Amino acid sequence: MISLLSGAAQTESPAVLFDNAFARGTLAASSAVADGAAANIVGPATFDYWKPTALPADLTLTLAAAETFDALALVAHDLGSKGATLVVKYSATAVSAYVTLATITPGDDTPLALIFGAVSAQRWRLELTGAVVPAIGVAMVGQRLVIPANVVAPYTPTPFAARVELLTGSSLGGQVFDSRVKRRGVQNSIRFNPVLRSWMASSLPAFARHYDSGLPFLWLASPAYDLSDVGYLRRAEGAGELRPAIASGGLWADFGLEVDGYAA
């Protein structure tokens, strides 16, 4: 689920979050169980996690210097099912007072994304309260890459893009047996209207390198129109590289993404 906070901009357009500051800062947690170290929250894997020993608990990211960000996300968490409340705070420097950005009690365990007006911060803090200790698999904070184009139809919204394999059977006499369900991750094909060639040349290369390397990213289809369309995706196995194609006339470029990813 996506939460649009005060000052959130360019929320009609699709965007990706791929440069994760949690991966380059110093982490400090109030506590952690034996197999739930704070470092696990960096990702990109979703199978390990940070899990405190008790609540309330907090985890703090300190960067070498202040950076400007406009999005934060949690993936592979169980805050919803555990009934936990998350408080997100930041401070402009390593010694200044914390400012509360948001207080949220998620209704489910799907990826959680906060989009807000750009802030400059050197520290970020996640505080957890509640009756049952939750776990968080991946935390991300960074600056979105907003794609200045619409998603081309037909497009499958991320909540409907998970693959479900159904194993059914019946007897020779026509009796119906119970079905078995094997749930798979998200699989999707995303294409965009043409973007300006100048934007492609200046803004796309860093994300293209990330995508080509098979590294995961947060996908936001159009937060202003659908708060549920958020996913933790990566280049699909067997898919080609991100190769923009210059359209006739040379002013515009076409590109798309073939992805698979995490399903809560």
Q: Residue 169 pLDDT more than 80?
A: no
With bands split at pLDDT 50, 70 and 90, how would you rate the model's confidence at 43? Answer: confident
Q: Give the helix, strand, coil percentages of the chain, each rounded to 5.
A: 10, 45, 45
Residue type, 92: A
Q: Residue 7 pLDDT more than 80?
A: yes
With bands split at pLDDT 50, 70 and 90, how would you rate the model's confidence at 18? Answer: very high
Q: Measuring CA to CA, which residue among 77, 133, 150 is closest to residue 108?
A: 77
pLDDT at res. 55:
96
For residue 260 the two structure tokens come to 């698979």
pLDDT at res. 254:
93
What residues contact residue 107 under an 8 Å CB cut-off, 6+ apart?
1, 80
pLDDT at res. 170:
62
Taking residues 205-224, report their average pLDDT: 96
